[in-house]
Amino acid sequence: MATPRARIDVGILGATGTVGQQFIRILHRNPWFRPTWLAASERSEGKRYADAATWRLPDDLPEGIGDIVVQPCVPNKAPRLIFSALDATTAREVEPAFASAGHIVVSNASSFRMADDVPLLIPEVNADHLSQIARQRRERGWSGAIVTNPNCSTVVLAMVLAPLRQFGLRATVVTTLQAVSGAGYPGVPSLDILGNVIPNIDKEEAKIEAETRKILGACDGGQVSDHPVVVAAHTTRVPVIDGHTMTVSMALDAKPSLADVKQALTSFSGRPQELKLPTAPAAPIVYLEAADRPQPRLDAMRGDGMTVSVGRVRRCPVLDIKLVAMGHNTVRGAAGAAVLNAELMLAEGALEND
Amino acid sequence: MATPRARIDVGILGATGTVGQQFIRILHRNPWFRPTWLAASERSEGKRYADAATWRLPDDLPEGIGDIVVQPCVPNKAPRLIFSALDATTAREVEPAFASAGHIVVSNASSFRMADDVPLLIPEVNADHLSQIARQRRERGWSGAIVTNPNCSTVVLAMVLAPLRQFGLRATVVTTLQAVSGAGYPGVPSLDILGNVIPNIDKEEAKIEAETRKILGACDGGQVSDHPVVVAAHTTRVPVIDGHTMTVSMALDAKPSLADVKQALTSFSGRPQELKLPTAPAAPIVYLEAADRPQPRLDAMRGDGMTVSVGRVRRCPVLDIKLVAMGHNTVRGAAGAAVLNAELMLAEGALEND
Amino acid sequence: MATPRARIDVGILGATGTVGQQFIRILHRNPWFRPTWLAASERSEGKRYADAATWRLPDDLPEGIGDIVVQPCVPNKAPRLIFSALDATTAREVEPAFASAGHIVVSNASSFRMADDVPLLIPEVNADHLSQIARQRRERGWSGAIVTNPNCSTVVLAMVLAPLRQFGLRATVVTTLQAVSGAGYPGVPSLDILGNVIPNIDKEEAKIEAETRKILGACDGGQVSDHPVVVAAHTTRVPVIDGHTMTVSMALDAKPSLADVKQALTSFSGRPQELKLPTAPAAPIVYLEAADRPQPRLDAMRGDGMTVSVGRVRRCPVLDIKLVAMGHNTVRGAAGAAVLNAELMLAEGALEND
Amino acid sequence: MATPRARIDVGILGATGTVGQQFIRILHRNPWFRPTWLAASERSEGKRYADAATWRLPDDLPEGIGDIVVQPCVPNKAPRLIFSALDATTAREVEPAFASAGHIVVSNASSFRMADDVPLLIPEVNADHLSQIARQRRERGWSGAIVTNPNCSTVVLAMVLAPLRQFGLRATVVTTLQAVSGAGYPGVPSLDILGNVIPNIDKEEAKIEAETRKILGACDGGQVSDHPVVVAAHTTRVPVIDGHTMTVSMALDAKPSLADVKQALTSFSGRPQELKLPTAPAAPIVYLEAADRPQPRLDAMRGDGMTVSVGRVRRCPVLDIKLVAMGHNTVRGAAGAAVLNAELMLAEGALEND
């Protein structure tokens, strides 16, 4: 396994927003990467980061970050490894410009997730999808690359479904109860969500239904075949700060026992654990026996926000198994996911020049 | 149709609790009934109601109620018509004592809901189940009777499913997001629910799965046959004051169009509307076209809390149809439900002595 | 007293926002006024109101309103009586244009509240300040007029202080706990306020400190002299939908007993009660004896949102008296305040042409 | 300074409650003390701690704690150093029994805070009050002792006032906005506080008004003379999990400039910082320049929950200076406060036998 001798300078696109701030918080403590280049929209360009951004995380702005001058979102002088927290519209233009100029763009944006030649990674689940990069470079003529992580709800769902594929996973009905941090800042108006539920999140259900099948699919020669599981998603917003909770009913053709299902979940592990990647949690999934868990306020930060918590595995009268899953949407579901992707790429040699 | 010449004196068992207070609020404005007899546990017995109860509804305690002296939960001198807001354990002892003594007990408690000879009513859905009363009296030798309304989540679900039975309703997967008022007072500790989700409500899923089948079933000669629909319920508690929201996926063998489903929902009506019962909403179900509705804070009080709001009818990739439903849990799901039951009984002659 | 023979057509500037929607809700039910002309920013101009505005109040959009075509904010064809829910910057330009063109502008905006010749009214407190209108017309050469209501926190404070002026009111220290509806829509981001307190509201403290003195001041020949009370305000935002709560310590030179203070508060009444104005509450102030009241969720809608609730009158070790006050910020503190101002003007003949 | 060679075994009275759990969390990581003896009420006695308590903190129950068998609240076999999280009524009986049996009771209970011979400590403010112990032992004939920390709101207020005594502190009017964790578990019902404010906390105002004067007072020969500052407190409960926020107006006879006040606050330091006690924050008070800080959600965990955050120092029109302060109520305001007291006592030799 490759590990860096010194921390590698990295850049962040969209550094002033909610996910950008999480990137800074997580990368600042990362032993392999060091955030030294920050870019954002024209409004912030040329300002000190401390002046351009209103820091909204409980931890103070890490030392040394506040004085960095915010750059425009162009490749010129940016480090080779770039994390992208851009919105989808901007990402569609900016990320290819960076990849074409030789940068590795590890993106949280949705723009290229479903592209045939772009890896949509959860390192514990489908590390082998990295082989799409070679095809991407060949077909697009890029010296760089774009690699993506899933939508914040999809990560949690796909991690829970992955170890259950062995039981003949055929269908799932999922309802999400999503935290407000998933909508960025200013995001959800308080008048809409205080003491309330909003029973829809725009475009989220289609993302969950499509991305899950790609992530769980097999990859052969850089070509991913969707997993056949049929996914039906209901998405809702609830007055929670961090942590997406979801109820999941699943059809499993092999009709496993409840003990089999719990065993498959708790023994789940992948490349990040084998490689002991810095951001990898010891256990990707923790099963909680208490009848009232997982809960976002108590469980979202488990494994530094990288562990998915599962509870209440029981029989489903309509499909086969019911359970509840919960994960941190801006860590495991966004910035932490991307950092783990980059660590996987580094350890697997995918950050090296061809 | 029978209507009373003057308001009928009625009693309330469990008058000091959350549902008991809703009974007082609703009955105080009811043109057919007048709350004059209030009973509660030993702790309250003999006190003025204003001293025994801490009134927690936004409207002030209705005039004339505060001076009523709280009685013990025994039939002696109680009016013939009794509303019960007792907890299940107490109801199991107290309600039969009243029914045996000739009282009509219109109960919100779960104790007798699933008994073979006890009507579990939603007047718009199964007014014909009232015929179970004759059997109940015959078998138990009572001159009174017990009539029940469903669990607060079941009411909303069953009202939405009722008009869809015509399409070959075969199965449903439902996830509830339930308000804290459903747990009574003191109920859910704020430390558990502020900015949080609790992914379980004790015994609620079994109630929803069983009660729904009884309510939707056919009744012949006082004998109810369960409807064959298979119900899978996930229940969660969210930081909302009033209004249970639920996501619903349904298998419908006749594969109706989305327009057919919406039409069936909006044209749904029943005996309370025919009889123009005082507590009956003009429309039992209202369909909202906005993509982000229904919402508990905005829609719970629709139809004075008696209308169920539905939105987002769309295709379900796993079953056939997905939608969102929401209803007021302490009005349509508890006190209002019981008052409508009593109005139906009065109008149908079921309150008269044999 | 003048009362209209038929409902008078009125207009609303800024009709699509949070306060504009409250104007529509309140005026729709008003026996004297009927909203028939709605204006908003260019973005909404020419659209049906139902298409231009996203209705966010629990009650449905009143019938007949949705089809009104939204007008630009210019006097052309507008009714004589205009309610303004404009933001301060827009109001500074638009309101004089209307007043100059002969319209009576009853404004909730802050732009002209502190102008020497503009009434800053709470009809129960300073109905005599209406005499400023004559001076305003004389000095500005307007055939119309601008009349204002106070800031949403100031209304509550000033109503509580008004009946205590008799005790030699010398100083007050007030801390507000303000609801999010006071910030409009989208207003306060949920990420900022869920499970949190924001200990500042921009410019609010200066408004409370200045407006209170003007409202409580005497008016002679159209000239208001500030009341000498010194006001110190701390303002905070809390996760509440409607209802501004405030703790108040007061120095009262006459050292009244607690009973004297309560008596002065509960017996407080003014011109709106004398004139039985349609929007006037029977009691402008209600005193609640319970140790834990007033509370915004339970008490904000008292008197249809027009009554201020007070509790906990007790000795203050530093000043003389401590108490808690609470009022509905978008009703008594905004739209309802303006409607009451207009009713006062109509009843006092101040809407008639000179 | 004395430091222990090995971690000292300590006990916790009331170990299963909210503050008891905070004691376990904090002591488990403490380099000087090790929690090995846990006691609670009869209901828990004899059970494993993991079975007796429902752990409600985000971090998991620390290893090794779950298997400890819960003891009754009697001195028999308990370690010499005991932390008390008992409620006031129980503490009044139990704590003297331990002190009399030779135990050092470091208590968070209110029972003995105002006793003449019991130190009411904030180590940064009044470490010299430890001299009351000698008098306590002499007068009560105890070989042990009781030492207390203040009420959770008083700690924050007294820490802010302490460095301002130099300016002739004469009076203060304070309004608290208190978190629900301060009320323990189950504590505040969610129906009371969701989207609401409760404008009273039973007995809290009297505690703040009295305790502050004792803490800030001088101590001579084991005799404390109250500081002359007059304190007026308004207390409210708000829907916040952790962190008590308070607005403070102060009369300061020396009329310091705003810069003087800020300078006094930020340069404040005491014995815990000199002695580098393990639980002492580097800075007891941090001043935040942002106009909207401190906020409980973002600032409560500053300095591991031991730092008080202050902001918005400005002129007060009625008294002299206005500001906002916020501190973590179950860490700095309860368990962390007691642990810092014990560390101070150890470092100052006050834990040694006479």
C109-118: list long-range contacts, CB under 8 Å, 24+ apart: C109/C84, C109/C85, C109/C148, C110/C148, C110/C151, C110/C207, C112/C146, C112/C148, C113/C148, C113/C150, C113/C151, C113/C207, C113/C211, C113/C214, C114/C210, C114/C211, C114/C214, C116/C223, C116/C224, C117/C222, C118/C146, C118/C147, C118/C148
**How distant, in Å, are the alpha carbons of B122, B152, B153, B296, D158 from that of B204?**
18, 9, 8, 20, 48
User: Which has more confidence, D354 or A219?
Assistant: A219
CA distance D194 to chain B (A): 7
The architecture (CATH level 2) of B8-151+335-347 comes to 3-Layer(aba) Sandwich (3.40)
Could you read off the pLDDT of C45-88 as tens digits, one per residue?
999 999 999 999 998 999 999 999 999 999 989 999 999 999 99
Whole-number pLDDT of residue A299: 98
Does residue A285 carry a pLDDT above 70?
yes
The token duo for C52 is 């231009």
Does residue A353 carry a pLDDT above 80?
no
* D316 assigned to active site: no
Q: Name the B residues in 282-321 with CB < 8 Å from any D CB.
A: none
Strand spans (E) along chain B: 8-13, 33-39, 81-84, 104-107, 145-148, 169-178, 218-220, 223-225, 230-237, 244-252, 285-288, 308-315, 321-327
Name chain C contacts of B299, Cβ cutoff 8 Å: 58
Tell whether C241 lies on the interface with D, counting CB pairs under 8 A.
yes
CA distance D195 to chain A (A): 6
Question: Cα–chain-centroid distance for residue A91?
Answer: 16
CA distance C35 to chain A (A): 25
Whole-number pLDDT of residue C59: 85
Mean pLDDT for chain B?
Answer: 96
Q: A157 and A210 in contact (C-beta within 8 Å)?
A: no
The three-state secondary structure class of C184 is coil
Task: Say which of A73, A152, A227, A328 is annotated catalytic.
Answer: A152
Does residue C99 carry a pLDDT above 60?
yes
Put simply, the answer to whether A298 touches D241 (Cβ < 8 Å) is no
Could you read off the pLDDT of C275-303 as tens digits, one per residue?
999 999 999 999 999 999 999 999 999 99
Whole-number pLDDT of residue B145: 97
Q: Which residues pair with C196 in a beta bridge?
A: none
Put simply, the answer to whether D241 touches A57 (Cβ < 8 Å) is no
Could you read off the pLDDT of A9-34 as tens digits, one per residue?
999 999 999 999 999 999 999 999 99
Put simply, the answer to whether D240 touches C197 (Cβ < 8 Å) is yes
Total-model pTM:
0.97
CA distance C237 to chain A (A): 12
Name chain D contacts of B18, Cβ cutoff 8 Å: 191
Q: Name the D residues in 167-206 with CB < 8 Å from any C CB.
A: 171-173, 175, 177, 194-200, 202
User: Quick one: average pLDDT of C319-330?
Assistant: 98
Put simply, the answer to whether A58 touches D298 (Cβ < 8 Å) is yes
C51 DSSP 8-state letter: H
Of A18, A56, A189, the CB nearest to C190: A189
CB pairs A-D closer than 8 Å: 19
Whole-number pLDDT of residue B83: 98
Q: C130 and C345 in contact (C-beta within 8 Å)?
A: yes
Does residue A157 carry a pLDDT above 80?
yes
Element at B20 (helix H, strand E): helix B18-28
The token duo for B126 is 């199964």
Whole-number pLDDT of residue C37: 98
DSSP letters, B98-144, are HHHTT-EEEE--STTTT-TTS-B--HHHHGGGGGHHHHHHHHHT-SS
Mean pLDDT for chain A?
Answer: 96
Classified by CATH at the fold level, domain B152-328 comes out as Dihydrodipicolinate Reductase; domain 2 (3.30.360)
DSSP letters, A78-138, are --SEEEE---HHHHHHHHHHHHHTT-EEEE--STTTT-TTS-B--HHHHGGGGGHHHHHHH
Whole-number pLDDT of residue B351: 87
Does residue B202 carry a pLDDT above 80?
yes
Run means of pLDDT, 10 residues per run, chain D, 354 residues: 86 96 97 98 95 92 96 95 97 98 97 97 98 96 97 98 98 98 96 98 98 97 96 98 98 98 98 98 97 98 97 98 98 98 96 70
Put simply, the answer to whether C177 touches D171 (Cβ < 8 Å) is no
Of B57, B58, B298, the CB nearest to C58: B298
Q: Rounded to an integer, what distance in angstroms lies between the CA atom of residue C245 and that of residue C259?
A: 22
What are the two backbone dihedrals, phi and then psi, of residue D13, each rounded to the nearest 5 degrees?
Answer: -90, 130
Name chain C contacts of D293, Cβ cutoff 8 Å: 199
Q: CB under 8 Å to B108, separation ≥6 — which residues?
A: B19, B83, B84, B85, B148, B149, B334, B335, B337, B338
Residue with tokens 């300040």: C129
Name chain D contacts of A241, Cβ cutoff 8 Å: 297
Could you read off the pLDDT of C159-194 as tens digits, one per residue?
999 999 999 999 999 999 999 999 999 999 999 999
Whole-number pLDDT of residue D4: 83
Helix/strand/coil (H, E, C) string of chain D? CCCCCCCEEEEEECCCCHHHHHHHHHHHCCCCEEEEEEECCCCCCCCEHHHHCCCCCCCCCCCCCCCCECECCCCCCCCCEEEECCCHHHHHHHHHHHHHCCCEEEECCCCCCCCCCCCECCHHHHHHHHHHHHHHHHHHCCCCEEEECCCHHHHHHHHHHHHHHHHCEEEEEEEEEECHHHHCCCCCEHHHHCCCCECCCCCHHHHHHHHHHHHCCEEECCEEECCCCEEEEEEEECCCCCCEEEEEEEEECCCCCHHHHHHHHHCCCCHHHHCCCCCCCCCCEEEECCCCCCCHHHHCCHHHHCCEEEEEEEECCCCCEEEEEEECCCHHHHHHHHHHHHHHHHHCCCCCCC
Whole-number pLDDT of residue D352: 78
Whole-number pLDDT of residue B5: 81
Could you read off the pLDDT of A99-156 as tens digits, one per residue?
999 999 999 999 999 999 999 999 999 999 999 999 999 999 999 999 999 999 999 9
Q: Rounded to an integer, what distance in angstroms lies between the CA atom of residue A83 and that of residue A105?
A: 6
* Per-domain boundaries in chain B: 8-151+335-347, 152-328
Q: Rounded to an integer, what distance in angstroms lies between the CA atom of residue D183 and that of residue A161?
A: 41
* A316 assigned to active site: no
Could you read off the pLDDT of D229-288 as tens digits, one per residue?
999 999 999 999 999 999 999 999 999 999 999 999 999 999 999 999 999 999 999 999
**How distant, in Å, are the alpha carbons of B179, C53, D203 from that of B201?**
11, 38, 35
Could you read off the pLDDT of D302-331 as tens digits, one per residue?
999 999 999 999 999 999 999 999 999 999
Note whether ipTM > 0.90 here.
yes
Q: Rounded to an integer, what distance in angstroms lies between the CA atom of residue D173 and that of residue D189?
A: 29
Please state at what angle helix A336-347 crosses helix A18-28, rounded to 10 degrees: 50
Put simply, the answer to whether C239 touches A194 (Cβ < 8 Å) is yes
Which residues in B84-122 are b (16+ Cβ under 10 Å) and which e? bbbbeebbeebbbebbebebbbbbbbbbbbeeebbbbbb
Q: A121 and A211 in contact (C-beta within 8 Å)?
A: no
Q: Which residues pair with A39 in a beta bridge?
A: A13, A71
Q: C176 and C232 in contact (C-beta within 8 Å)?
A: no
CA distance C235 to chain D (A): 9
